[in-house]
């Protein structure tokens, strides 16, 4: 029998208005990418303070297609994109899917984000872009990243998958770089069940992305790309060719459908309410987390930023008398669902072994890959649930402190020199 969690990791909001839009789309037989997708794109762009938003089928596709625009700007297959070593594997996968080589940089312990002091060391003549990740909604050091990118003439694509609602020096995360790539997966603040979306202020890039999501199609006018009308299009035939079936670039099949867009529009309508509930849950825990020092640590919010309330990262420190597995097992046994804090992509994910990185090259990312986990803060949770999380963490820490005190003297008198590990 599966565990029923008191504090599940994620939730899914499907509003009554979304259900009405879905029913209407089904009745009309218009379910492929159309008018609802277009409306969702406009509303998302407005929320993020950008000129353009292009909806796609997944957050990974958002990363991939944003990167693939580099080919239109002169990049060649095999060129390099710099990414942090620690992220959900989709970040590294997207670089490969777009035809590039990921170059990894270690992260900072305190922020979980790319170490900007090591970033320039990774730049070569083949580098074309930097893709920082705002992990767990904590904004990366975008001022420094944008300065470096400008000096080396590099594009910056923000992987803002987990950063809905995050701000950095009064700027909305996802609007700072040349493009931002968001996930709209079920566990996120704005969700379309599956889905992703790319934000930009560059009209040319937005047009390229619309082409890329439809196999690289040449016709990217609003009527054709969204299948929003069955009327004759005067732009369709040029020089004897049907522009809907000309393909000037290698593309993908990554369109969002109307049913997903309906769910997204429902979420946008209650965005501020969801955001504030999740922020309250996140801050309730972060403001008390010092109580678990030095055994457990987490991120903190600086004065110049607002963390997007995606989840609470929990890192088991080297000083802890227990493992991540011990903590995760305890929490799950007591109704608190956990996720690991990802892994070092280049050295702990076998799929990237072909790049020949060696274990030990990314010590901070690797440490998080062994010792980090995260738990939910979603809008269906209440302050009492967050208080329960804190209570269970306190019980766990005290239990292991007692155990350590009780067994330490026994270990000191019973373990002889020739019985030491490795002897």
CATH class assigned to 16-269: alpha beta
Quick check: 70 and 121 in contact, CB under 8 A? Answer: no
Nearest to 7 by CA among 412, 407, 390: 390
Lowest-confidence range among 85-89, 213-217, 410-414? 410-414
Euclidean distance between CA atoms 321 and 94, whole angstroms: 38
Residue 423 has pLDDT above 60, yes or no: no
Mean pLDDT over residues 138-147, rounded?
98
Q: What pLDDT, on the 0 to 100 scale, is given for residue 219?
A: 76
Q: What pLDDT, on the 0 to 100 scale, is given for residue 4?
A: 82
Q: What pLDDT, on the 0 to 100 scale, is given for residue 239?
A: 72
Confidence category of residue 223, pLDDT binned at 50, 70, 90? low
Phi and psi at residue 297, in whole multiples of 5°? -135, 165
Q: What is the pLDDT of residues 362-421, one digit of tens each?
A: 999 999 999 999 999 999 999 999 999 999 999 999 998 876 555 444 333 333 333 333
Confidence category of residue 246, pLDDT binned at 50, 70, 90? confident
Quick check: 262 and 21 in contact, CB under 8 A? Answer: yes
For residue 327, CA distances in Å to 11, 296, 323, 341 come to: 23, 10, 6, 13
Q: What is the pLDDT of residues 29-48, one digit of tens each?
A: 999 999 999 999 999 999 99
Euclidean distance between CA atoms 12 and 286, whole angstroms: 24
CATH code linked to domain 271-403: 3.90.1150.10
Within 270-344, residue ranges assigned H as helices are 271-286, 324-333
Nearest to 307 by CA among 275, 336, 337, 338: 275
Euclidean distance between CA atoms 170 and 44, whole angstroms: 18
Lowest-confidence range among 7-21, 69-83, 151-165, 207-221? 207-221
Mean pLDDT over residues 159-179, rounded?
98
Gyration radius of the chain over CA positions: 24
Higher pLDDT, 82 or 243: 82
- Where does 219-353 show beta strands of DSSP type E? 237-238, 241-242, 296-297, 305-306, 311-316, 339-340, 343-344
Q: What pLDDT, on the 0 to 100 scale, is given for residue 242?
A: 74
For residue 241, CA distances in Å to 209, 230, 238, 244 come to: 22, 19, 5, 9
Q: Which part of the chain is CATH 3.90.1150.10?
A: 271-403
Q: Which part of the chain is CATH 3.40.640.10?
A: 16-269
Q: Please give the mean pLDDT across all residues of the chain.
A: 92
Q: What pLDDT, on the 0 to 100 scale, is given for residue 230?
A: 56
pTM, two decimals, is 0.91
Q: What pLDDT, on the 0 to 100 scale, is given for residue 414?
A: 36
Number of Cβ within 10 Å of residue 287's Cβ equals 11
Within 297-382, residue ranges assigned H as helices are 324-333, 345-348, 363-371
Q: What is the pLDDT of residues 339-369, one digit of tens each?
A: 999 999 999 999 999 999 999 999 999 999 9
Q: What pLDDT, on the 0 to 100 scale, is given for residue 411?
A: 38
Percentage with pLDDT > 70 across the chain: 90
Number of Cβ within 10 Å of residue 9's Cβ equals 16
Cβ density class 373-410: b for 16+ within 10 Å, e for less: bbbbbbbbbeeebbebbeebbeebbeebeeeeeeeeee
Euclidean distance between CA atoms 296 and 317, whole angstroms: 6
Nearest to 374 by CA among 317, 303, 298: 298
Q: What pLDDT, on the 0 to 100 scale, is given for residue 245?
A: 79
Question: Which residues touch 421 (CB under 8 Å, ≥6 apart)?
Answer: none
Residue 106 has pLDDT above 50, yes or no: yes
Mean pLDDT over residues 140-164, rounded?
98
Mean pLDDT over residues 173-199, rounded?
97
Question: Which residues touch 52 (CB under 8 Å, ≥6 apart)?
Answer: 41, 45, 199, 200, 201, 202, 203, 205, 206
Percentage with pLDDT > 90 across the chain: 86
Within 51-200, residue ranges assigned H as helices are 59-68, 90-97, 116-119, 142-152
């Amino acid at each position: 029998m599966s565990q029923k969690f008191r504090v599940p990791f994620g939730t899914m909001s499907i509003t009554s208005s979304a259900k009405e839009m879905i029913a209407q789309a089904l009745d009309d037989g218009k379910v492929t990418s159309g008018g609802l997708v277009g409306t969702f794109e406009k509303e998302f762009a407005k929320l993020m303070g950008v000129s353009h938003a292009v909806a796609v089928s997944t957050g990974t596709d958002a990363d991939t297609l944003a990167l693939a625009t580099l080919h239109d700007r002169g990049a060649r297959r095999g060129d390099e994109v710099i990414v942090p070593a620690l992220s959900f594997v989709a970040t590294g996968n997207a670089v490969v899917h777009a035809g590039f080589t990921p170059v990894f940089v270690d992260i900072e312990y305190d922020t979980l984000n790319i170490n900007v002091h090591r970033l320039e060391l990774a730049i070569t003549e083949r580098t074309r872009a930097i893709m920082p990740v705002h992990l767990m909604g904590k904004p990366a050091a975008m001022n420094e990243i944008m300065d470096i990118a400008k000096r080396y003439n590099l594009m910056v694509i923000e992987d803002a998958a987990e950063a809905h609602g995050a701000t950095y020096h009064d700027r909305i995360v996802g609007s700072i770089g040349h493009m931002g790539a968001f996930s709209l997966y079920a566990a996120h603040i704005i969700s379309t069940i599956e889905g992703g979306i790319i934000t930009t202020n560059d009209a040319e890039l937005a047009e390229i992305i619309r082409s890329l999501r439809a196999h690289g199609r040449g016709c990217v006018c609003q009527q054709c790309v969204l299948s929003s009308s069955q009327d004759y299009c005067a732009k369709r035939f040029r020089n004897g060719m049907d522009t809907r079936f000309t393909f000037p670039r290698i593309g993908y099949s990554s369109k969002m459908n109307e049913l997903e867009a309906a769910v997204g529009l429902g979420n946008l309508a209650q965005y501020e309410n969801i955001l504030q509930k999740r922020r309250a849950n996140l801050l309730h825990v972060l403001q008390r987390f010092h109580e678990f020092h030095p055994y457990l640590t987490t991120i903190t919010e600086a004065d110049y930023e607002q963390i997007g309330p995606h989840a609470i990262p929990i890192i088991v420190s080297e000083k802890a008398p227990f493992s991540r597995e011990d903590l995760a097992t305890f929490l799950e046994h007591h109704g608190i669902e956990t996720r690991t804090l990802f892994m070092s992509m280049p050295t702990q994910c076998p799929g990237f072994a072909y790049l020949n990185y060696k274990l030990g090259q990314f010590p901070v990312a690797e440490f998080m890959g062994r010792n980090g986990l995260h738990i939910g803060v979603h809008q269906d949770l209440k302050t009492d649930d967050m208080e329960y999380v804190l209570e269970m963490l306190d019980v766990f820490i005290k239990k292991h402190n007692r155990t350590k005190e009780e067994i330490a003297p026994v270990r000191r008198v019973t373990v002889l020199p020739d019985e030491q590990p490795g002897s």
